[in-house]
């Protein structure tokens, strides 16, 4: 299917298709002139920031795409019944290998062919809230890196060794719970040794993995952790974190918040981090 041209006048529609052979699925269409460029999926519109795969369908005509109900005789292509679920006015903006749909209501979606998965496979991504999701991910990364840095600094080692080890972890990309767990014990031990740890490299590596696993499974991330009513007490429920490490973490939160460009009020960490 050739990509439609740029235009400020398109209709973006969804039809619920109860097909005799394929079963229930959803037809997505971009109506331009008398043509309706069409795709199908078993899934509804993805959540903001998420994607699904659409399967390209033949180009239909405008009337079919905008009909409230269409009964297709059994045995014909697409046999079954379609119901029009919604119609949204908008514009189409064409890129080099994709295009975006921007509705009059402010919604934004991306469509991009995926030839490596088949000539008729397309990526359909919901771009609504994308910037907010990116900001939240950045905040998670900064908070987790601050926790790791505080953890290392709270250990009975020289400050320069803690800083060097933290720099090694960042350089290797071990800056999220997922990255720590994916790296595994052996790689973490090597990173500790590279940073200057000698006697407690193994126990520290284990503790970092335990911390990462618990943070992900019990809290779902740093943002939920820092929402704890008594954050100092909550931090100390993690193995290897005592009063010193908790204090280092709390004292450093205003700087993390300032770097994140949130409010710079140091009195309340939850206000600082806007959580």
User: Which CATH number does the domain housing residue 159 bear?
Assistant: 1.10.340.30
Task: Give the domain-ending residue among 82, 107, 128.
Answer: 128
* 87 and 151 co-located in one domain: no
* 143 and 117 co-located in one domain: no
Residue 137 domain flag: yes
- Residue 259 is predicted with a pLDDT of 56
Tell me how far apart the alpha carbons of residues 133 and 119 are, in angstroms, rounded to a whole number. 30
- The structure tokens listed for 265 are 């009020």
| CA neighbor of 19 nearest in space, from 95, 66, 70 | 70
Q: H or E segment at 256?
A: helix 243-259
Q: Is the pTM of this model over 0.85?
A: no
* 152 and 183 co-located in one domain: yes
- Residue linked to tokens 């993390």: 256
Task: Give the domain-ending residue among 97, 128, 159.
Answer: 128
Overall number of domains in the chain: 2
Tell me how far apart the alpha carbons of residues 140 and 7 are, in angstroms, rounded to a whole number. 38
- The structure tokens listed for 129 are 């809230």
* 108 and 145 co-located in one domain: no
* 120 and 144 co-located in one domain: no
Are 170 and 206 in contact by the 8 Å Cβ rule? The answer is: no
- Residue linked to tokens 């043509």: 35
* Tens-digit pLDDT string for the chain (275 aa): 665 666 778 999 999 999 998 899 999 999 998 999 999 999 999 888 889 999 999 999 999 999 999 999 988 888 999 999 999 999 998 887 888 999 988 899 999 988 877 788 999 999 887 666 667 777 888 899 999 999 999 888 888 898 999 999 989 889 889 899 999 999 999 999 998 887 777 888 999 999 999 998 888 889 889 888 899 999 999 999 999 999 999 998 877 765 544 333 333 333 334 44
Sequence-ordered list of residues with C-beta below 8 angstroms from that of 137, at least 6 positions apart, any chain = none
């Amino acid at each position: 299917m050739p990509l439609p041209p740029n235009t400020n006048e398109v209709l973006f529609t969804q039809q619920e298709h109860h097909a005799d052979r394929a079963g229930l699925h959803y037809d997505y269409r971009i109506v331009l002139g008398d043509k309706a460029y069409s795709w199908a999926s078993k899934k509804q519109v993805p959540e903001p920031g998420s994607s699904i795969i659409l399967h390209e369908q033949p180009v239909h005509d405008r009337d079919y795409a905008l009909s409230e109900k269409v009964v297709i005789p059994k045995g014909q292509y697409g046999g079954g019944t379609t119901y029009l679920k919604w119609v949204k006015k908008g514009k189409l903006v064409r890129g080099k290998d994709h295009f975006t749909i921007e509705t009059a209501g402010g919604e934004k979606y991306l469509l991009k062919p995926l030839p490596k998965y088949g000539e008729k496979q397309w990526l359909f991504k919901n771009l609504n809230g994308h910037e907010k999701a990116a900001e939240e991910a950045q905040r998670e990364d900064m908070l987790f890196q601050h926790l790791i840095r505080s953890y290392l600094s709270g250990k009975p080692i020289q400050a320069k060794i803690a800083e060097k080890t933290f720099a090694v972890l960042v350089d290797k990309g071990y800056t999220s719970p997922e990255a720590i767990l994916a790296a595994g014990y052996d790689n973490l031990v090597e990173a500790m040794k590279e940073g200057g740890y000698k006697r407690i490299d193994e126990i520290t590596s284990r503790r970092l993995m335990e911390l990462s696993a618990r943070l992900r499974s019990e809290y779902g991330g740093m943002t939920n952790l820092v929402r704890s009513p008594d954050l100092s007490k909550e931090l100390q429920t993690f193995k290897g974190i005592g009063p010193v490490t908790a204090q280092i973490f709390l004292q450093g939160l205003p700087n993390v918040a300032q770097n994140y460009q949130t409010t710079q009020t140091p009195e309340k960490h939850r206000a600082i981090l806007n959580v």
